[in-house]
Structure 1
Amino acid sequence: MAGSRGVVIAALIANGAIAVLKFLGFLVTQSPSMLSETYHSISDTGNQVFLLIGIRYSGKEESRTHPFGYGKAQFFYSFLVSVLLFGIAGWESLKHGYDAIMHGGHALGGMVTLAGYTFPGWYVNVVVLVGAIGFESYAFKKAAAELRRQIREYEWDGIVDAFRKTSDVTTLTAFTEDTIALLGAGIALVGVILSEITGNAVYDAIGAVCIGVLLMSFSVALAWENKRLLLGESLPEQVEKSLQSIVRNHPGVAHVDDFRTVHVGPEKVLVTADVSFNSGLETNDIDTDITEIEDKLKAEDKRVKFVYLEPEV
């Protein structure tokens, strides 16, 4: 949880500052791709606020109405991020770029005078975008480090495998945002430079369209990943088999009749099982065995927070 919070706070600070700089660049040059990038950074800033709300809400203690806690709040707020903020920013970027293409685009501002110095306005965009890439690289590095830690801990095959299996949607969303932010800033930079070199502003407008498509594509991908957790996904099959073997191999257990797992929050799993014990065991013995099995399961995988075993004799 602490790792996720640190990742989100780093992204919030970076994106808030970058949004202001990009908007100033747009005001100077009226660049469509700069406006798209402004939408993008405003979206990212809002995203971090939603994610922090999710982290705070999910930290509430279990209650009668929520016996397994509020962990799924992070899934919900991450879903909102992907659908509302990413989708809105993507659509606005796409629409603005399309309009610019249909109307032939426009020059990226004239000469600008700041602190007694006069220079081409498009320089502002280049400086802002290069600075944005620097800030986003810092946030991306922090998110990537947390994701790599999880990959090592759970022995996933890589980022693609982590994307499919992680329940830490906050880190996943931040990592995805930072990746898109770097790609978007790079696309905008190429569009601005090409428009200046060729004298054809349509390249800048095309950059805005590409950024919009990028945002909307990733919004769908993130929504899909959050859906699996909101619907109650189990642990990966191999992990389940490993946990089930712990129960099956415990002294006194005859066989496991049913075994199920489900994510109830980021890195928080519920395990239930119907377990047949050997005949002749006393009630106290069964109680002791159940406690020992619970401890073994939690020791095997720290994501296991709740264990309910139904004994059958």
Structure 2
Amino acid sequence: MASSKSVVIAAFIANAAIAVLKFLGFLLTGSAAMLSEVYHSISDTGNQLFLLFGIRYSGRDPTQKHPFGYGKAQFFYSFLVAVLLFGIAGWESLSHGIHTFTHPEPVRATTETLFGYRFPSHWVNYIVLLGAIAFESYALKTAHNGLTRQMHEHDWKTISEAFTKTSDVTTLTAFTEDTIAVAGAGIALGGVYLTRVTGDPRYDAAASIGIGVLLMGFSLALAWENKRLLLGESLPSENERSLKELITTIDGVHHVDDLRTVFFGPEHLLVAASVSFEATLTTEGIDERISTIETTLTQNDDQIKTVYIEPET
């Protein structure tokens, strides 16, 4: 949880600072790609607030109405972020880019004065976008470290595998946003540069379209990954098989009749199992075995927070 919060805070600070700088660049140059990046950074900044609220809300203690706690709040707010990323940043960037591409306007060739020095205004875009790449790369590195930690803990081989298996959607969302932010700033930089060199504003508009498509594509993927957890996803079948085998190694266990798992929050896993015990065991003996199973499972995987065992004989 602390790792997720630090990832989100790093992204929030970077996005808020960059949004202001990008807006300044847009005002000076009128670049469609820069306006797309303004939409992008404003959306990202708001999204980090949603994620922070989700982290805080999910930390509330369980109640009678929510006996397993509020961990799924993070799934909901991450899903909301994906929708906003699609609706605000993605669609606005795409529609503005298409409009600019079909109705191109001459590129502004203006100069600005700062501290007594005059310079071409398009250099503002270069400086802002290069600064954005630097800041976003820092935020991306923080998010990548959080995701890498989970990959080591769960022995996931690739980021793609982590994307489909992690329950820490807050870190996943921040990592996705930061990846898009770096890529988007790079696309915008390319569009601004080509427009300045060729004098054709359609390069700038094409960059805006590319950013919009990128945002919408990633937001759909992110929404899909959050959907699986909102609906109550279990562990992969191979992991459940390992838990069954672990339970059968305990003395007195005859067979695991059924085992089910479900995530009730980031790295908050519930395990319910129907276990057949040896017929020779007494009630006290079965109770002792159940306690042993609970301890063994929680020590085996830090994600397992709640265990229910239904004894069969």
Q: Give the TM-score range, shorter chain.
A: over 0.9
Tell me the equivalent position of 2:49. 49
Tell me the equivalent position of 2:95. 95
Local SS of the residue matching 2:310? strand
Shift of the 195–231 alpha-carbon distance from structure 1 to 2, 3 Å rule, reads same
2:303 is equivalent to residue 303 of structure 1? yes
The 2-side partners of 1:86 and 1:20 are apart by 21
Tell me the equivalent position of 1:191. 191
CA contact (8 A) 1:139 1:178 kept: yes
Structure 1 gaps of 5+ residues are: none
Local SS of the residue matching 2:144? helix
Tell me the equivalent position of 2:134. 134
2:84 is equivalent to residue 84 of structure 1? yes
CA contact (8 A) 1:248 1:256 kept: yes
Count of aligned residue pairs for this structure pair: 313
Tell me the equivalent position of 1:203. 203
2:16 is equivalent to residue 20 of structure 1? no
Local SS of the residue matching 1:216? helix
- The list of structure 1 runs, each at least 4 consecutive aligned residues, that deviate by more than 3 angstroms after superposition, is none
CA contact (8 A) 1:97 1:208 kept: yes
Cα deviation per residue 1:75-109 (whole Å; 9 max; x = unaligned)?
00000000123332100001111111111233145
Q: Which amino acid aligns with 1:285?
A: G
The 1-side partners of 2:235 and 2:265 are apart by 12
Q: Which amino acid aligns with 2:176?
A: T
CA contact (8 A) 2:58 2:71 kept: yes
Tell me the equivalent position of 2:177. 177
TM-score normalised by structure 1 residue count? 0.98
Cα deviation per residue 1:257-301 (whole Å; 9 max; x = unaligned)?
110011111001000011111112111111111001000000110
The 2-side partners of 1:138 and 1:230 are apart by 30
The 1-side partners of 2:106 and 2:3 are apart by 44
2:99 is equivalent to residue 119 of structure 1? no
Question: Which residues in structure 2 correspond to 1:1-313 (within 5 Å)?
Answer: 1-313=1-313
CA contact (8 A) 1:28 1:109 kept: no
Local SS of the residue matching 2:153? helix
CA contact (8 A) 2:43 2:84 kept: no
CA contact (8 A) 1:50 1:81 kept: yes
Q: Which amino acid aligns with 2:301?
A: D
Cα deviation per residue 1:32-69 (whole Å; 9 max; x = unaligned)?
00000000000110110000001001111111111111
The 2-side partners of 1:194 and 1:257 are apart by 65
The 2-side partners of 1:263 and 1:60 are apart by 17
The 2-side partners of 1:110 and 1:204 are apart by 17
Cα deviation per residue 1:222-259 (whole Å; 9 max; x = unaligned)?
00000000111111122111111111221111111110
CA contact (8 A) 2:37 2:184 kept: yes
TM-score normalised by structure 2 residue count? 0.98
CA contact (8 A) 1:78 1:170 kept: yes
Q: Which amino acid aligns with 2:10?
A: A
The 2-side partners of 1:108 and 1:68 are apart by 58
Local SS of the residue matching 1:132? helix
CA contact (8 A) 1:167 1:266 kept: yes
CA contact (8 A) 1:187 1:210 kept: yes
Cα deviation per residue 1:135-187 (whole Å; 9 max; x = unaligned)?
00100011001111111110001100000100000000000000000000000
**Please, which moves more after superposition, 236-245 or 255-264?**
236-245
Q: Which amino acid aligns with 1:144?
A: H
The 2-side partners of 1:312 and 1:105 are apart by 76
Local SS of the residue matching 2:67? coil
Local SS of the residue matching 2:62? coil
Cα deviation per residue 1:163-216 (whole Å; 9 max; x = unaligned)?
010000000000000000000000000000000100111111111010001000
**Please, which moves more after superposition, 189-198 or 86-95?**
86-95
The 2-side partners of 1:201 and 1:108 are apart by 10
**Please, which moves more after superposition, 61-70 or 11-20?**
61-70
The 2-side partners of 1:244 and 1:25 are apart by 58
Cα deviation per residue 1:98-137 (whole Å; 9 max; x = unaligned)?
1111112331451112222111110100000000001001
